[in-house]
Amino acid sequence: MRKPCIAANWKMNKTAAETGAFLNEFVPLVKNVKDVDIVVAPPFTSLYAAAAIVSNTNVGLAAQNIFYEEKGAYTGEIAPSMLTAAGCSYVIIGHSERRQYFKESDETLNKKTKIARKHNLQVIFCIGESLEERESGRMFDVLKREIEEGLKEVEAAGIIVAYEPIWAIGTGKTATTEQAQEAHRYIRERLAALYGPAQADEIRILYGGSVTPDNIDALMKCADVDGALVGGASLKADSFSKIVIFNR
């Protein structure tokens, strides 16, 4: 049985003070949740503030990005050892905004994934198609490429896949349960081709794209949906806690 994972991606939101205020409200709301892995991904500047509060709680800490070298002359980048020192145990890699705005390629994301796993960071690896790719019938081709190239020569252990249809991110549009399950089932089939059925059955696949307290229950009833990567609805403690405490 795969343990659900609910992760918050705050993107470029919340100062250190705002992060502290959120977590001081949020952590007590979910302190009794034991059957879900809860993860919060603040901006880099808020990681230490977050770690001070979530340490020794049931809330894990994620970074939103990572660089693929250990150290060096890479202005503006952040090394894996810096993330682990800041208290991170997870990292988000391959979010569509990184792919779109910063032109991160499958090769770059593969390198990032490898170094993250080298440092024992659990990877939330994001994939997903655009509306044009879906409507032109290329959705499965895109997902296949992003899985095979992004996870090339990466062991299954420590990998969480997040399916985020780009057309549903921040738009208020959510994939129907049928669309979500269809994509998640295909992703698990591709993971089985890559790792074998037994290992693929253990990998959690999260859904992301306008997840709210109103639609989480239906999404979690899908056979291959193992949690959610939540954007806007994770910015308020009450809203995100309701997603974490979904109707089992």
Averaged pLDDT, groups of 10, the chain, 248 residues long: 96 98 98 97 98 98 98 98 98 96 97 98 96 91 97 98 87 84 97 97 95 96 97 97 91
- Mark whether 119 is an active-site residue: no
pLDDT of residue 146: 98
Sorted by sequence, the CB contacts under 8 Å of residue 231 that are 6+ apart come out as: 9, 11, 169, 170, 208, 210, 211
Domains: count for the chain: 1
What is the number of alpha carbons within 13 Å of residue 33 lying toward its C-beta? Answer: 25
80 and 118 in contact (C-beta within 8 Å)?
yes
CATH code for the domain of 91 = 3.20.20.70
State the pTM of this model.
0.96
- Mark whether 95 is an active-site residue: yes
Q: Is 232 exposed, middle or buried (0-12, 13-18, 19+ CB in 10 A)?
A: middle
Q: Tell me how far apart the alpha carbons of residues 158 and 54 are, in angstroms, rounded to a whole number.
A: 21
pLDDT of residue 144: 97
Full residue range of the structural domain in which residue 109 is found? 5-244
Instruction: Find the Cα–Cα–Cα–Cα dihedral 64, 69, 74, 77, rounded to 10°.
Output: 10
Task: Name the catalytic one among 104, 164, 182, 189.
Answer: 164
Sorted by sequence, the CB contacts under 8 Å of residue 214 that are 6+ apart come out as: none
Task: Name the catalytic one among 95, 129, 133, 184.
Answer: 95
